[in-house]
Amino acid sequence: MISDYFSYAFKNLKHRRVRTWLTMIGIVIGIAAVVSIISLGQGLENMVTGQFEDMGADKITVMPGSSIFSAGMSALPLTQKDYDVIAKTKGVLNVAGMIYLSPRIEYKDESEYTFVIGFPLDSSSKRVFDSMQNFEIDYGRDLKHGDGNVIVVGSSVAEDDKLFSKGVALGSKIIINDVDFKVIGVLKTIGNEQDDRSVYISIERARDVFDIKDKYDVLFLQAKPSFAVSEVALNIEDALRKSRNLKEGEEDFNVQTTEQLQESFGTIFSIVQWFLIGVASISIVVGGIGIMNTMYTSVLERTYDIGIMKAIGAKNSDILMLFVIEAGTLGAVGGLVGMIVGGGFAKIVELAAKNMLPVDLLNAHLSLELLVGAVLFSFIVGMASGALPARQAAGMKPVDALRYE
C-alpha cells in the first residue's frame, strides 16, 4: 500500500516537471549549502584534531592573559621568575620559553615587517618546542645550541614575491635591528601563512638584539609520564598564583592542556558552523513554503479526483497519506539533488584548496550519516510542509468535490 502512495506521488511529480523543479529549488539550495558546510567543517575539524594529537597529550601551554583569547594582552608578561617557578612545580618534566616580535627586517634593498621568533636551543627545551610546533627543515640546517648570528626562515620568505620580490637564498644576509644574520636553513611549509612568513633565531640572540631581558610570550612544558596532565596544570596554576600573590579567579595568566585547547577550538568551530548552517537553513524554510504552496495548488487542481476517490471508498486517512507522501517525496528528491550538488561543491573547494594552498587544509568529509540524514531531513520537511494542504484535501466532502470545476 505504501509503495502505491510513492508510485502515485512520482507519477504526479513527473507529470508536472517544470513546477516540480521550480518548487525544489529552495530545498536544493538549502541542503546543498548545509551538506557542503558540514562536510568541509568536519574535514577542517579533523585536521585540527590531528594537529593537537601530534602535539601530544602530555603538553601544557602557559600564556599571559586571563584566557586564551586575551593571550599577549596582559600587563604582566611571563618572566624568568615564572619560568623558574613552573620548572620546579611538581609533575613538570621540561619547560621551553618563546618570544616573538614583529620588526621590520631588511634583505638587499627591500624591507618588510614580519615576525621574528626567538626560541630555545638547549636539548630539553628544543625537544618540547619542536614536538608542539612541528617545524621541519626543508634544506640547509636547523639552528643548534651555541649558534650566533644565524637564522632559519619560513618557506614563504624563501619564495619570490611572498615577502620579498626575490626569495631569500640560503647563505644570504638578512638585517634585523641593524644586526646581520646569515640564512642557514629554510623550513618546510607549515600551512599557516604567518608561520611561513616568519624568521627564527635563538632566544638568546633575540634578547640581545631587541634588549629583552626578562620576558616570555609563551611557555611550553611537558608533564612527567607518571602524572596526570590535568593535575600538573592545576599545580602550575597554584604555584603561579602564590608567586604572583593572586587569589583564585584573579589570574592574569592562562594554563591550557592540549585537551583543553582542543575543546576550545572545537567550541569555536561548532559556533561558527552552526551559525552558517542556520543561515543556510533559511533556504530550506523557503523551500518548505514553496512545497506548501505547490501542494495547495495541487489539491485545488485535483479536487474532482479527490471526490471520485472518496466516492469509490477512499478514506480520509488515504487521501491525507497520499498528499503527505507526495509532499515528502518532493522534498526528498530536492534533498537528493541538493546532497549531490553540495557534495560536489565541497569536493571542488577541496581540490581548489589543495591547488592554492601548500598543505591539505581542507578535506571534505562526506560521511554516510550526513548524506542519508540530508535526504531524510528534506523528506521530513516536505511532509511537514504538505500536512496542511493534505488535511484540507482529506476534509473535503465527496459531493462538494465532485461538483467542483
> Cell digits for 185?
636553513
Q: Do 323 and 317 meet the contact criterion of CB atoms below 8 Å apart?
A: no
CA 311-316-321 angle, 5° bins: 120
Residues 93 and 241 in one domain: yes
Residues 103 and 39 in one domain: no
- The parent domain of residue 217 ranges over 77-251
Q: What is the pLDDT of residues 114-157, one digit of tens each?
A: 999 988 887 666 666 655 566 788 899 988 888 889 999 998 89
In a domain, 104, yes or no: yes
* HEC profile of 56-119: CCCEEEEEECCCHHHCCCCCCCECHHHHHHHHCCCCEEEEEEEEEECCEEEECCEEEECCEEEE
pLDDT value, residue 182: 93
Q: Do 314 and 350 meet the contact criterion of CB atoms below 8 Å apart?
A: no
In a domain, 333, yes or no: yes
What is the percent of the chain with per-residue pLDDT over 90, rounded to a whole number?
14
Rounded CA gap, 97 and 206, in Å?
12
Residues 35 and 168 in one domain: no
Residues 279 and 220 in one domain: no
Residues 163 and 211 in one domain: yes
The domain boundary residue, chosen from 202, 223, 251: 251
With 60 as the cut, is the pLDDT of residue 69 above it? no
Residues 7 and 118 in one domain: no
Contacts with 90 (C-beta within 8 Å, 6 or more apart), sequence order: 227, 232, 235
Q: What is the pLDDT of residues 331-340, one digit of tens each?
A: 888 889 999 9
The domain boundary residue, chosen from 225, 251, 277: 251
In a domain, 276, yes or no: yes
Residues 188 and 336 in one domain: no
**DSSP states along 178-192:** TEEEEEEEEEPP-S-
> Cell digits for 214?
626578562
Residues 113 and 30 in one domain: no
Residues 323 and 387 in one domain: yes
Q: What is the pLDDT of residues 31-51, one digit of tens each?
A: 888 888 888 888 877 777 776
Residues 83 and 220 in one domain: yes
Rounded CA gap, 371 and 145, in Å?
53
Residues 214 and 296 in one domain: no
Please state the φ and ψ torsions of residue 97, each to the nearest 5 degrees.
-110, 150
> Cell digits for 180?
646581520
pLDDT value, residue 74: 47
With 80 as the cut, is the pLDDT of residue 12 above it? no
In a domain, 311, yes or no: yes
pLDDT value, residue 85: 92
With 80 as the cut, is the pLDDT of residue 344 above it? yes
In a domain, 232, yes or no: yes
Q: Domain count of the chain?
A: 2
Rounded CA gap, 103 and 136, in Å?
24
In a domain, 85, yes or no: yes
The 10 Å Cβ neighbour count of residue 70 is 13
In a domain, 313, yes or no: yes
With 60 as the cut, is the pLDDT of residue 73 above it? no
With 50 as the cut, is the pLDDT of residue 302 above it? yes
User: Which of 152, 143, 144, 141 is CA-nearest to residue 176?
Assistant: 152
Rounded CA gap, 273 and 117, in Å?
33
The domain boundary residue, chosen from 220, 251, 282: 251
Q: Mean pLDDT throughout 24-30?
A: 85
Q: DSSP letter for 313, please.
A: T
Please state the φ and ψ torsions of residue 227, each to the nearest 5 degrees.
-115, 145
User: Which of 33, 102, 7, 2 is CA-nearest to residue 277?
Assistant: 33
pLDDT value, residue 151: 93
In a domain, 63, yes or no: no
Terminal C-alpha separation, the chain: 30
Q: What is the pLDDT of residues 176-233, one digit of tens each?
A: 999 999 999 999 887 777 888 899 999 889 999 998 888 899 898 888 888 888 899 9
With 70 as the cut, is the pLDDT of residue 241 above it? yes
Residues 163 and 190 in one domain: yes
pLDDT value, residue 236: 92
Rounded CA gap, 26 and 28, in Å?
5
Displacement of CA 251 from its chain's centroid (Å)? 29
